[in-house]
Amino acid sequence: MISHKELFLGHFPFVPRNKRGIVSLTAQEALNNFDERLQPLLEAQAQAEAKRCMSCGQCFECDNCVVYCPQTAVFKVPKAKATTGRYVDTDYSKCIGCHICADVCPTGYIQMGLGD
């Protein structure tokens, strides 16, 4: 896992959180009251909340590294070999270490210096 400090925040404008409502009770109202106090999010709120995910340290398949690599060294892993977090790979025989892929990666997923 990559630390959230590696995120490229320029890709993530601030979006306010969708908070669940809380029912406040007086001491008298709380007695023998077993009703839910945390209110659920509406479907649209839940979807908006999921979209706030910045996928810290995980590749989320944006293709930036594939598109911007000047050497076409970054390539998509074939679907049969792809797993969560393994979507792109690097051909180190083509890579010149220019760092562009790491610079354009929103999630900080690309770590330099892993080749021979």
Nearer to ligand SF4, 48 or 98 (CB): 98
Contacting residue, 20, 39, 45, 60, with ligand SF4 by CB under 6 A: 60
Return d(Cα 111, Cα 1) in angstroms, integer: 11
- How many CB atoms neighbour CB 10 within 10 A? 7
Return d(Cα 80, Cα 54) in angstroms, integer: 26
Rounded least distance, CB 80 to ligand SF4, Å: 18
For the chain, the residue count is 116
CB 97 within 8 A of CB 70: no
- Tokens linked to 87: 């979507």
The binding track of 81-110 with respect to ligand SF4, each residue x by CB under 6 A or -, is ------xx-x----xxxxxxx--xxxx-xx
- Tokens linked to 18: 């969708």
Contacting residue, 23, 47, 63, 86, with ligand SF4 by CB under 6 A: 63
Contacting residue, 61, 77, 86, 111, with ligand SF4 by CB under 6 A: 61
CB 27 within 8 A of CB 68: no
Nearer to ligand SF4, 18 or 90 (CB): 90
Interface with ligand SF4 (CB under 6 A): 59-65, 69, 71, 73-74, 87-88, 90, 95-101, 104-107, 109-110
